[in-house]
Amino acid sequence: MVIEIVIYAAVSSAIYAMLAVGFTLIFGVARVLNLSHGTFYALGAYFTYTYNGLLKLPLFVAALLAIATVAAFGVAIERVMVRPLRHSGLAVLMITLAMSLLIEQVLFLTFGSETQNVPSLVSDKVTVFDVDISGQRLLAFGVSVVLISGLWLFIQRTRLGNAILAVSQDAEGAQYMGININRVFASVMGLSICSPITSMPASASELAASASLAGLSQPLVHTTRVVA
């Protein structure tokens, strides 16, 4: 019983960690509390459903298109709405909260309140320490670990990653050294949104809850928990 709880908790925690990594990335670098962060995850789930369920594209291709679409949308939001208000933490809170509620209502009007299912990549079950667990959950766990590790390597070993670290430590000093901080902020916004959405092909079955209006308010709750 204890092993079963530990295994399922590890799998669920890996998926939530992807959400937390993206949120803390934008907060740690740009000092922006993006309350619409969880809603972008739900938006990615709906785009995956649209591309796969409605346009009949393969799940993996649909997920890649969803990642690109939501990342571009997030960068546009940063450029048009967040960047002019970045000096005011309260203003950013309000605009991202308003964006979250707006996206929620648009999705509600577009897709209704019924659950929209995204198919699984793996349907088989795997036995781990005498505990039966779906291959989809194990795949989601593995992909989340790989993506978090990859993000760490990107931050530590690449030129853009070094620029992100410099801006997070001292944005004004980094600007004096020739780093384009607006470009860094836009990149971080895109990365913070992509990091959880990239795990979607592996966690497609988990997205059934995210891709339903009944659970659409949950991303905001989870974001609030991360802030707390």
Question: What is the full per-residue pLDDT of the chain (228 aa) written as tens digits?
Answer: 677 777 778 877 877 787 788 888 888 887 778 888 878 888 888 888 888 888 888 888 888 888 888 888 888 888 888 888 878 878 888 888 898 889 888 888 888 777 777 777 666 777 777 777 777 777 778 888 888 888 889 889 999 889 999 988 888 888 888 889 888 888 888 888 776 655 555 554 444 444 444 344 444 444 444 444
What is the spatial distance between Cα 193 and Cα 86, in angstroms, rounded to a whole number? 18
Whole-prediction pTM value? 0.74
- Count: domains in the chain: 1
Strands 125-128 and 131-134, bridge-based pairing: antiparallel
Paired tokens of 79: 């450029």
What was the pLDDT predicted at 195?
66
What was the pLDDT predicted at 153?
92
Look up residue 79 and give its amino acid.
R
Enclosing domain of residue 198: 2-227
Nearest 5°: phi and psi at 121? -80, -35
Alpha-carbon distance values, 65 to 10, 45, 61, 104, 119 (Å): 28, 11, 6, 20, 16
Paired tokens of 9: 């908790």
